[in-house]
Amino acid sequence: MNYQSTRNHRQSVSSTQAVLQGLAPDGGLYILKDLPGLHFDWQSVLSLDTFGMAEKILSALLPDFARMPELVRRAYTGKFSTDELTPLAAVGQDYVLELFRGPTSAFKDVALSMLPQLITAAREQEGITDEIVILTATSGDTGKAALEGFHDVEGTKIIVFYPDDGVSAVQKAQMVTQEGKNVCVCAVRGNFDDAQTGVKNAFSACENQGLLAGKGVRLSSANSINIGRLAPQVVYYFKAYADLVRRGVIAVGDKVDYVVPTGNFGDILAGYFAKAMGLPVGTLVCASNANNVLTDFLHTGRYDRRRPFYKTVSPSMDILVSSNLERLLYLLSGCNDEEVAGYMEQLKTEGFYQVSDQLLDRLKGEFWAGFCDDAGTKQTIGQVWQNHGYLCDTHTAVAWNVAQQYRAAVSPSHPLVVLSTASPYKFPVAVLTALGQTPPEDEFDAMERLRELTGVEIPKNLAGLRSKQAIHTDVIDRDDILPYVLDKVSRKNW
């Protein structure tokens, strides 16, 4: 029983159970009991290839999984455009860690390729015969990455709900053309909140009223509170470090700073896990867009979600409640579950909390934070292209901008690795505008125009989309999500 809830250490489970459950019953997040206590031999993984690294790191973080090498192979073989999965590009005096070379061109592929393997393995090991049905509401990137991960995975089915007027044309095309005998995609009239609320309500109705009892199915979710989504992200911090050693930029033991475009705090928390496992991480730089709740928090120790919500050109970071922060608070408070439960209760009831001075000191020792608005984001895309001939997407540009703020403020002596979370072709209209062009209305035309202008290749999965047939055409109201789910799970074949 090596995992426990951040809100109550007595709520403890195995890593297989943690992956199957997602959220702990008390609303807390599952976390490994003693991360530094793993005594992970971090130096020995630096000489391995990415697959080998993933096996060792995931086996350490999720110790109850019996066949990790096989799960890693199944998750990643042939899915990414390169076997190293996450290449490191030198750009100017910095480094860009490209996390978008997977099947949907967003960094969520790294974790969502692995999660289905972990869920099915956990299901087998725990002797569960029920089919696992994944329900997900998406604002764009997660839905497609989850569909790619789960399609045709034995013992699972997946239903993705997306807001009818809340995703880009490219994102919609990515989802409604998804093939696979166990997948279902449905539009919900309204915005992302409508879709998410409808899905949450469906979840709790099924649980509380036992609507699925005896039907041979159980519901699960693919969002980033699941430890099975977080753990695979730890690997690329090691991979980037090993690349810098191989290139002679650093010696083993030297520190590296990582700059992370942050929304739900999953990606950057994985960097903190890597550090806790021994990797010589210097500072973790938290980069936000105009929704800068985390910048304020890391400066003042006060987390306050009572603020305006901005729709930005980096939509995957438009978040006011960063769920994974809870795990960091737990670790930095010395695993004080009562303290964490108190903060989370206050956030829920009053909309804010203020951490102790001691905790704030610790946060400041590990993290640096900055933000960048849409104008800055676009300006950065233009500058990086002009100065370095490197084309980056809007989320990466936020991180690049904050990396330069960090350099100006701190003059760091370590190399900077900027995490790049999406292909520029996922956001072609914003990127074209940033390059001073007037984008065509049609997003696919914009993609083509961006290619002509820059000569950067369009990822295959995006280039082929336009000619693909839409398979999923259902559109429903938010209040019909529950009956829709119940109808779906009652049918054997989709």
Ligand X SMILES: *Cc1c(COP(=O)(O)O)cnc(C)c1O
Hey, which residues are catalytic here?
A: 108
- Residues 160 and 134: their CA atoms lie apart, in Å, by 8
CB of residue 106 to ligand X, shortest distance in Å: 5
Mark the segment that binds ligand X (CB under 6 A) among 196-204, 241-249, 260-268, 273-281.
260-268
Mark the segment that binds ligand X (CB under 6 A) among 83-91, 189-197, 265-273, 441-449.
265-273
According to the binding rule CB under 6 A, does residue 266 interact with ligand X? Answer: yes
Q: Judge whether 173 and 142 are in contact, CB under 8 Å.
A: no
- Residues 18 and 466: their CA atoms lie apart, in Å, by 39
- Convert residues 290-329 into a mask of x (bound to ligand X by CB under 6 A) and - (unbound): --------------------------xx------------
According to the binding rule CB under 6 A, does residue 395 interact with ligand X? Answer: yes
Q: Judge whether 103 and 109 are in contact, CB under 8 Å.
A: yes
Question: What DSSP designation does 317 have?
Answer: G
**Complex with ligand X: residue 16 or 139, whichever CB lies closer:** 139
- Residues 394 and 399: their CA atoms lie apart, in Å, by 9
Residue type, 101: R
Q: Judge whether 263 and 346 are in contact, CB under 8 Å.
A: no
Residue type, 278: G
Question: What DSSP designation does 355 have?
Answer: -
Q: Which residues pair with 184 in a beta bridge?
A: 159
Question: Residue from 148, 267, 326, 337 that binds ligand X (CB under 6 A)?
Answer: 267
Contacts with ligand X in 36-95 (CB under 6 A)?
A: none
CB of residue 31 to ligand X, shortest distance in Å: 16
CB of residue 469 to ligand X, shortest distance in Å: 26
- Residues 380 and 377: their CA atoms lie apart, in Å, by 5
According to the binding rule CB under 6 A, does residue 422 interact with ligand X? Answer: yes
**Complex with ligand X: residue 94 or 141, whichever CB lies closer:** 141
**Complex with ligand X: residue 199 or 485, whichever CB lies closer:** 199
- Residues 456 and 423: their CA atoms lie apart, in Å, by 11
CB of residue 393 to ligand X, shortest distance in Å: 7
CB of residue 230 to ligand X, shortest distance in Å: 9
**Complex with ligand X: residue 87 or 482, whichever CB lies closer:** 87
Question: Residue from 264, 291, 380, 423 that binds ligand X (CB under 6 A)?
Answer: 264
**Complex with ligand X: residue 136 or 262, whichever CB lies closer:** 262
**Complex with ligand X: residue 106 or 344, whichever CB lies closer:** 106
Contacts with ligand X in 125-144 (CB under 6 A)?
A: 141
- The CA-to-CA distance between both ends of the chain, in Å, stands at 37
CB of residue 44 to ligand X, shortest distance in Å: 28
Residue type, 361: D
Residue bearing tokens 């109550």: 8
**Complex with ligand X: residue 16 or 314, whichever CB lies closer:** 314
Backbone angles phi, psi at 26, to 5 degrees: -85, 5
Residue type, 230: L
According to the binding rule CB under 6 A, does residue 418 interact with ligand X? Answer: no
CB of residue 139 to ligand X, shortest distance in Å: 9
According to the binding rule CB under 6 A, does residue 262 interact with ligand X? Answer: yes
Pick from 371, 368, 273: nearest CA to 328: 273
Q: What distances in angstroms separate CA 354 from CA 35, 262, 360, 459, one per listed residue?
A: 25, 20, 9, 44
CB of residue 141 to ligand X, shortest distance in Å: 4
Backbone angles phi, psi at 341, to 5 degrees: -60, -40
**Complex with ligand X: residue 234 or 422, whichever CB lies closer:** 422
The torsion defined by the Cα of 140, 142, 144 and 150, in degrees rounded to 10, comes to: -160
DSSP string, 324-346: THHHHHHHHTTS-HHHHHHHHHH
**Complex with ligand X: residue 123 or 426, whichever CB lies closer:** 426
According to the binding rule CB under 6 A, does residue 374 interact with ligand X? Answer: no
Number of residues located near ligand X, criterion CB under 6 A: 17
The torsion defined by the Cα of 89, 170, 22 and 350, in degrees rounded to 10, comes to: 100
- Convert residues 87-116 into a mask of x (bound to ligand X by CB under 6 A) and - (unbound): -------------------xxx--------
Question: Residue from 263, 282, 415, 428 that binds ligand X (CB under 6 A)?
Answer: 263
According to the binding rule CB under 6 A, does residue 261 interact with ligand X? Answer: yes
CB of residue 327 to ligand X, shortest distance in Å: 12
| Residue 282 in tokens | 């210097």
According to the binding rule CB under 6 A, does residue 370 interact with ligand X? Answer: no
What letters, b where the CB count within 10 A reaches 16 and e where it falls short, cover 333-349?
A: bebbbebbbebbeebee
Mark the segment that binds ligand X (CB under 6 A) among 55-63, 257-265, 373-381, 450-458.
257-265
Report the interface residues with ligand X, using CB under 6 A: 106-108, 141, 224, 261-267, 316-317, 395, 421-422
